[in-house]
Structure 1
Amino acid sequence: MTDAPRPEGAPAPKGPGLPLPVTEGEVEFERTIPAPADRLGARSRDRIRALDVLFEADAQRRDVLDVLRDRLRITAAQTPLPVRSRDLVELYAPYATDIDEDLETHSRDWPLHRMPAVDRAILRLGSAEVLYGEESTGRGAIIGEYTKIAEVLSTDDSPRFVNGLLQRLLDIRGLTS
Structure 2
Amino acid sequence: MSRRQARCVALQTLFQLDLNSILNKENAIDGVLGLTKVLKERDFLYMHNLVDGTIDNKAYIDSKIGAVSGDWHLDRMPAVDRNILRIAVYELEFGSADLTPKIIINEAVELAKQFGTDDSSRFINGVLGSIVRK
Partner in structure 2 of residue 70 of structure 1: 27
Q: How many residues align?
A: 129
Partner in structure 1 of residue 119 of structure 2: 157
Secondary structure of the structure 2 residue equivalent to 1:61 = coil
Partner in structure 2 of residue 46 of structure 1: 6
The separation in 2 between residues aligned to 1:144 and 1:155, in whole angstroms, is 16
Secondary structure of the structure 1 residue equivalent to 2:72 = coil
Partner in structure 2 of residue 141 of structure 1: 103
Q: Indicate yes or no: 2:21 matched with 1:61.
A: yes
Unaligned stretches of 5+ residues in structure 1: 1-40, 173-177
Query: What is the Cα deviation at residue 144 of structure 1?
Result: 0.5
Q: Residues 72 and 113 (structure 1 numbering): CA distance in 2 closer, same or farther, change over 3 Å?
A: closer
Query: What is the Cα deviation at residue 77 of structure 1?
Result: 4.4
Q: Residues 73 and 114 (structure 1 numbering): CA distance in 2 closer, same or farther, change over 3 Å?
A: closer
User: What letter is aligned with 1:43?
Assistant: R
TM-score between both structures, scaled by the size of structure 2: 0.83
User: What letter is aligned with 1:120?
Assistant: R
RMSD: 2.4
Larger RCO of the pair (alpha carbons < 8 Å, separation 6+): 2
Unaligned stretches of 5+ residues in structure 2: none
Counterpart contact for 1:91–1:133, Cα < 8 Å: no
Q: Indicate yes or no: 2:89 matched with 1:127.
A: yes
TM-score between both structures, scaled by the size of structure 1: 0.65
User: What letter is aligned with 2:2?
Assistant: A
Counterpart contact for 2:13–2:29, Cα < 8 Å: no
Partner in structure 2 of residue 97 of structure 1: 59
The separation in 1 between residues aligned to 2:86 and 2:22, in whole angstroms, is 15
User: What letter is aligned with 1:169?
Assistant: I
Query: What is the Cα deviation at residue 78 of structure 1?
Result: 4.7
Structure 1: 4+ residue segments shifted above 6 A: none
Counterpart contact for 1:131–1:170, Cα < 8 Å: no
User: What letter is aligned with 2:53?
Assistant: L
Partner in structure 2 of residue 84 of structure 1: 46
